Amino acid sequence: MKAIRVHTFGGPEVLQLDEVPVPQPGRGEVLIRIQAIGVNFIDIYFRTGLYPAEPPVTLGMEAAGVVEAAGEGFTQLAPGDRVAYCMARGSYAEYAVVPAWQVIRIPDSLDFESAAAAMLQGMTAHYLSHSTFELQPGHVALIHAAAGGTGRLLVLMAKMRGARVIATVSTPSKAEIARRAGADDVVLYTQQDFEAEARRLTDGRGVDVVYDSVGASTFEKSINSLRPRGMLVSFGNASGPVPPVEPLLLSRKGSLYLTRPTLFAYCATPEELRWRAGDVLGWVADGKLTLHIDKVYPLAQAAQAQIDLASRKTTGKLLLK
């Protein structure tokens, strides 16, 4: 089978299309014939070595496809079942072996591309809005990169929860995407100071929560946008990792909370995974949660997909086929 692997960490040029044996499922695993693959920033973090792994590394954390075979000890999935998964690295390939408890059946009305587009970013938006900071009516949330894959879904879910959303984007076209998703206020951070706007739009109080996937370039102003006892949820490094933080900073800024969550910790059990994936895939199937797939690339063009994702010029989801 063909797989995109990294033998030496670095830029997009290190991605290599290799011919490798089809893996075989062990006890409690399933073999999936992959139909659509999600492209995410975490793939770039593994490619560069920011997230450690032993090379050669097959990239990709998310896909949808068909169960080809099930290993011993698992009977809830059978060959031919249409499924999706995330959190198991190795999806940039024609086949992948995945722990069976991480695999979710796709609703009959959902195609493979939609399922692959929804899993990782959809469940990330779910845990951020439903668990990390459980949004309620009356809360004000500042959401960075609100026209991107996760950001747009987070805006939609924040509005489902009854929160007010202040969205930051880089261009007028992205501002329109954020507005269509339901953002109450949109800040063009390339032209406006989002910290000053967050204060102005809350009459000086500050927001209850900032969801920040950007990292180094927004961290300080995100902190300054919070109300006393507000929470900064730092869940990405698009502009680079956040530098070390002195705990006293949080005290001086108003007894703030800072968390760096991961999807893995919020889908740690089969029950929690089924809750989040069931909500997300069900909402997509019912039309309550709309997806925007920006572009679909052949597997061999994985490097270009990562270049486009890192440029922050895309909107919505990027997929490989």
Report whether pLDDT(26) > 90: yes
For residues 213-227, average pLDDT? 96
> Is 313's pLDDT higher than 90?
no
Segment 211-216 mean pLDDT: 94
pLDDT (tens digit, 9 = 90+) per residue, 173-196? Answer: 999 999 999 999 999 999 999 999
Is the confidence at residue 114, as pLDDT, over 90?
A: yes
241: exposed, middle or buried (Cβ count in 10 Å: 0-12, 13-18, 19+): middle
**Using alpha carbons only, what angle is made at residue 46 by residues 212 and 306, rounded to the nearest 5 degrees?**
75
- Residue range 248-257: mean pLDDT, rounded: 97
CA distance from start to end of the chain: 14
Mean pLDDT across 291-302:
95
Contact predicate 51/45, CB 8 Å: yes
What pLDDT, on the 0 to 100 scale, is given for residue 237? 85
Are 32 and 81 contacting, i.e. CB atoms less than 8 angstroms apart? no
**pLDDT surpasses 90 at 239:** no
Is the model's pLDDT at 307 over the cut of 80? Answer: yes
- Report the amino acid identity of residue 272: E
> Which pair of structure tokens corresponds to residue 151?
């950001």
Give the pLDDT confidence of 121-157 residue by residue, as tens digits: 999 999 999 999 999 999 999 999 999 889 999 999 9
Whole-number percent of the chain with pLDDT over 70: 100
Q: Residue 306 above 80 pLDDT?
A: yes
Q: How confident is the model over 256-285, as a mean pLDDT? A: 96
Per CATH, the number for 136-259 is 3.40.50.720
For the cut 90, the answer to whether the pLDDT of residue 319 exceeds it is yes
CB half-sphere exposure, 267, CA atoms < 13 A = 26
Residue ranges of alpha helices (H) inside 133-252 are: 149-160, 172-181, 194-201, 219-224, 247-252
Query: Given this model, what pLDDT does residue 315 score?
Result: 77
pLDDT tens digits for range 69-85: 998 877 788 899 999 99
Third-level CATH fold of 2-120+266-320: Quinone Oxidoreductase; Chain A, domain 1 (3.90.180)
The model's confidence at residue 240, banded by pLDDT at 50, 70 and 90, is confident
pTM exceeds 0.85, yes or no: yes
Which of 72-81, 187-196, 284-293, 299-308 has the lowest average pLDDT?
72-81
Name the strand (E) or helix (H) holding 232: strand 226-234
Domain(s) labelled CATH 3.90.180.10 in the chain stretch across 2-120+266-320
Q: How far apart are CA 237 and CA 212, in angstroms?
A: 9
Check residue 311 and give its pLDDT. 87
Residue intervals in the chain for CATH 3.40.50.720: 136-259
pLDDT at 183: 98
